[in-house]
Every structure is written in structure tokens, then in C-alpha cells.
Amino acid sequence: MLMKNKLIVDLKKELPCVLDTLEERYAYSQDASNIRRITNLPDAVVFVETVEDVQKVVKIANKHKVPIICRGAGTNVVGSCVCEHGGIILNFSKMNKIREISAENMTAIVEPGVVLGDFQKEAEKLGLFYPPDPSNLAVSTIGGSIAQSSGGAKSFKYGTTKDYIIDLKVVMANGEILHTGANTIKNATGYNLGTLFVGSEGTLGIVVEATLKLIPLPESKKVFTAYFDTVADAVYAVNAVIEQRIFPATIDFMDKNAVQTVEKFYPAGLLTDKEALLLIEIDGFECSMDYQENIIINVLKSCRASAIQASHNDEEYNKIWTARRSSMGACARLKPNVTTDDVIVPRKNLAELVLGIRAICEKYNLDVCMVGHVGDGSVHPQIPIDYNDEDEYKRYKLAKSEIYDLTAKLGGILSGEHGIGLEKRAHIHKVINSTALNYMRQIKKTFDPNNILNPYKIF
């Protein structure tokens, strides 16, 4: 207790905004991973406003040997922001400035607390485009998306967060400032350190500024919904579209349970009697849209699509995507708790993964709604459960383990865009061999010898 009091005194002496009451610490003790029980609280929550503030916190954390857990909006679903061992929550909501958007360089410099959706809108005003779009982009932050290497629906065509990071300013565990790149689109000068930090979940360094690559904003866009009587037909249609050398911005997937659940939550006119739904978005020059649309519709019809709908204006476009992005919220109405996962396999194995997950959940008498980015081979099983039901929770944990076993068997990995955190760390050995894990541990020890940066996450 004496050590904790000294920690709080040091923080309040150096920083402008420090929260330390029981109620305040409790409010920041969990993230969107929907953990079953809160067993540990942070010692303090610090709102930083400058790089110098972050360096001060690092210095104090090293002095007292306490963890630092970085927090953007707390929307990650793998427990990356959970304080297992107390420590300092570093809140970046006040470091939310867009410092520069350069139309000439097609780059932007932003602070980590910038909300991703807000940044996209500002870039679009200049005719520029930042494609990463996780479902929670209305609240999730740039810093959080870097920490988790977020993707989203447009990953199929445009890639994920890691493909748009050209420089990071990072406060290291000893307080030093590291730049991982430069404000240039290409960089072959030395090791690509940026790739170490993207997806590292705050375990190697603290990102305090990011330089992002932008691309031209597509002139036009349109989304189709195509319905199929079997999951296999839906997956086959994806490959058939790609074989025509049409590259949709998005090919997303919803199974029958997901469509029915979403339609009750947010009525958008989706058909609820089909086994699978594909959301296919095309974009590009206005003059190319009819050409793309004709090819895609003909392919979908030849692949036994039983119904096809298309957006005709922005209102219809937004309504379809709001429905898709509402899937987790819709599931939350079914039971007191809802969990979502993120497994990904080579696309040729996607149908087997979807059907296998469904069979596993049926085996353990669990409901499941499946959505995903089918163009990538990515599936998000959303399982509504009641954490207070001991038997159901036990069945849920067994099902999760079997889902990860199935993913590994099909040549997949445990996360394409959500991260590992503490939720999946016990399973990471199923897809990453011991040699690779040992090198990861060595990198962690080199960058963070006192183990103060989000310790014991990932592995």
C-alpha cells in the first residue's frame, strides 16, 4: 500500500490528470473483451496530452516497477487493455489531433487518440482515402488499430493497417524516442521496425504519433447482397468472381443466424430464409461501375445465387453496411454476454471452417452467429452466452479450444485483425512454433527489459 501511495504521489506531481479513486479505476478495469470477472484494478489512470507526458509516465513506471497498459477507446475484444497485475492505464483520448494531411505527399500525421472514422472523413474532404475500416470505426482509434493491426471489410482489396503505416514515433520502455521509418512512401533503409510495433498490442513500445499512407478516394461505390442456399455455394461464388479479374473492395459474409438476428435488431430488408449472404462492394471510376456490376451479377447467378439486391443510393448503401456492422450488438440482445472471435484460414478451406464451427457449437449446445470477411478467409463467430451459467461457460471454453484446433488443422491462424491479448495466449502455440515464440520473447526482453509494457499479453 505504501508503494502504491508513493506511485500516486509521483504521478500527480508530474501529470495534469490522474484518476485513482476506486470507482474511477473500476471503470477502466476492462475492455470490450467482456471478461467474466474483474479480479484486478489498475493502480491509476493517467490521461496524457503530450509526448513528454508519456515519457514522464514511463520514467515513473520504471522507478516503481509497475506495468503500463495503453488504452485508446477500449474496443479490443481480446483483453489487451485488461490489468491483470495492476499498474497504470495510459489513456490517449486527449492526444487526438490530426497534425497534418498532405494532399501532395498523400500522407497524414496523426496522434494515437484520433478516432478512425473521423480521420477517414477528414481525408475524404481532400479526395483521399484511408481504407482500414474495422466495424467499430466510429469509436476505435488509430493507436488502437495500430496496436491490434486492425483490418476490416475492405482488407480484401486494400490491405490492413500494417499496409498504411510508413512511420511511427514510439516512446520506448526506457523513455527514448524511436522513429521506425520516414515520411516517404518507400523505405528500404535498414530493418523495417514498423512491422514489429504494428500488432504488438503495446508490449514493445508506446506509439505517440503515426505517419499514414493515403490513396486516392474512389469516385464511386456500390454494394450488392447475394443470397445462397448453402455455405459452399457462397464460397464458390467468391472464387468465381475473382477469376473474372474483378477485384471487389469487399466480399463479406453472414450466415443465416446472423442475418436473422441482425434483421430483428436493425431491420434493413435482408432476406432471412437463406443459409448464407454475401455483401460485395465494388468501387472505382463511375464509368467502370456498370461493367463491374454486369460481370458480378452474371457470375453470382451462374453460382446459384437465389436472390441478388443492390444499393441504388447512399441511403441504401449505408443501411446495408449499418446492418452488417450491427452484428455484435444484435447478438448482445440474445443473452447477457456476447463474445466474438477472429479466425482465418486459406480461402479454399473457408467452407469447411464455417461448417466446422457450426458443428462444434451444436455439439456444445451453443448459439452462434457467423460473419466475416470471406474474401480473406476470415470468420468472426459471435457466441451469445450467460457468464453466470457455470455449465454454459464451461461448454463455451471447450468449444473455443476446438475452434482453434480446427483452425490450425485447416492451415489457419488465430487472428487476422483482432490480436491475441490474454484471451488467446494459451492457444497461440497451436499455430506458432516454439522457435518463433522464443524469438518473440527475446525481442520483448530486448525492447522492454523491466517487463513494464503490457506484460504477459500475447504469449
For 68-91, write each residue's pLDDT tens digit: 999 999 999 999 999 999 999 999
pLDDT of residue 435: 98
Is 3 a residue whose pLDDT tops 70?
no
pLDDT of residue 126: 98
What are the grid coordinates assigned to 327, written together? 452484428
User: Considering all CA atoms of the chain, what is the largest pairwise distance in Å, rounded to the nearest integer?
Assistant: 72
Cα distance between residue 157 and residue 250, in whole Å: 7
Q: What is the DSSP letter of 115?
A: B
Report percent pLDDT > 70 for the chain: 99
CA atoms in the 13 A half-sphere facing the CB of 416: 26
pLDDT of residue 387: 93
CB 314 within 8 A of CB 218: no
Cα distance between residue 23 and residue 45, in whole Å: 11
Nearest CA among 208, 120, 213 for reference residue 164: 213
Tell me what the mean pLDDT of segment 60-75 comes to.
96
pLDDT of residue 437: 97
Is 1 a residue whose pLDDT tops 60?
no
Is 2 a residue whose pLDDT tops 90?
no
Cα distance between residue 89 and residue 346, in whole Å: 37
pLDDT of residue 246: 87
pLDDT of residue 385: 95
* Distant-in-sequence, close-in-space partners of 351: CB < 8 Å, separation ≥ 6: 231, 232, 235
With b meaning 16 or more CB within 10 Å and e meaning fewer, what string describes 390-409? eebeebbeebbebbbebbbe
For 314-350, write each residue's pLDDT tens digit: 999 999 999 999 999 999 999 999 999 999 999 899 9
Report percent pLDDT > 90 for the chain: 92
What three-state secondary structure class fits 139? coil
Is 283 a residue whose pLDDT tops 70?
yes
pLDDT of residue 259: 97
455 pLDDT tier (thresholds 50, 70, 90): very high
Is 105 a residue whose pLDDT tops 80?
yes
* Cβ neighbour number for residue 419 with a 10 Å cutoff: 25
Cα 183 to Cα 176, 197, 212, 371: the distances in Å are 20, 17, 8, 36
Is 34 a residue whose pLDDT tops 60?
yes
* Cβ neighbour number for residue 122 with a 10 Å cutoff: 15
Mean pLDDT of the chain: 95
Cα distance between residue 196 and residue 149, in whole Å: 11
What are the grid coordinates assigned to 310, written together? 443492390
Is 359 a residue whose pLDDT tops 90?
yes
Cα distance between residue 313 and residue 433, in whole Å: 49
235 pLDDT tier (thresholds 50, 70, 90): confident
188 pLDDT tier (thresholds 50, 70, 90): very high
135 pLDDT tier (thresholds 50, 70, 90): confident
